[in-house]
Amino acid sequence: MTTVLKDYQHKYSSAELTRDGNGVLLVQFHTNGGSLIWSETAHRELAGLFGDVADDRDNRVVILTGKGPNFITETDNASLSDVGTPNGWDKIYFEGRRMLRNLLDIECPVIGALNGPVTEHCELILLSDVVLCSESATLKDGPHFANGLVPGDGINLLLPLVMGLNRARYFLLMGQRLSANEMLDVGIVSEVLPPSQLLARANEIAKLWAAKPSLTLKYTRTALVHTMRKLMIDQLGYGLALEGNALVAMGTENFEFLPQD
């Protein structure tokens, strides 16, 4: 059984949304039905999407995942060709702050189901309250230091919390790639599952949670993300400003996010 969402169900091309009769909202990020390709459209849309999800109080649990074999490993460079200009980066700065703020403003528990390799914007999954992981998943920070950019878009704040300060700095500076089991070992994810069982397990947990009282769901999520929300409010803008300043200083109006191996 599915329920009708408010007017945002078909509003965004970068995500497919369905909600069951228990109030469990499944958000599947994609590009044309396959793995999400990061682009100007995705960056712009996800900021609004998370705001709409947060505003819909009929959502009792949210599951975030991706379609296809990867979570995010590709970038549409042409759509982001102006990020090396002041006005181009100002758009990234505006949308980037809204995207993570709105994600953390969702007032019901969030389950992240990492369906495959991720090299960009892993925070979209790792900011979840419980993170499940496919055996096929890997984690690498592709766009930033390894590609000549400052890691200032929130990953610099998130990873030290979930994996420890020194491990996070090594990961970001060395371009390290972690397997699913390595992510489990350092506490980035909580469970590693065969790909065919990932969504079933996410739905199993979501159904269990959705049976809880509404205010228990709302206030537990609020309590658990309070520290991260405060950290993002205080420091995300600063990190994005540092990243943008270094990028603009390169004079790279046609900067490219290099393909990730």
As annotated, the active-site residues are 123
CA distances from 150 to 139, 223, 233, 244 (A): 18, 30, 19, 8
Alpha carbon 117 to its chain centroid, in Å, reads 13
Angle between helices 86-104 and 214-249 (to 10 degrees): 160
Tokens representing residue 225 in the block: 């993300």
User: Using CA atoms, how far apart are residues 120 and 31, in angstroms rounded to an integer?
Assistant: 15
Nearest alpha-carbon partner for 133 in 185, 181, 188, 191:
191
Per DSSP, the chain holds a count of helices (H) and strands (E) of 8, 10
In terms of DSSP bridges, do strands 130-134 and 110-114 run parallel, antiparallel, or are they unpaired?
parallel
Q: Which helix (H) or strand (E) holds 27?
A: strand 24-29
End-to-end CA distance of the chain: 41
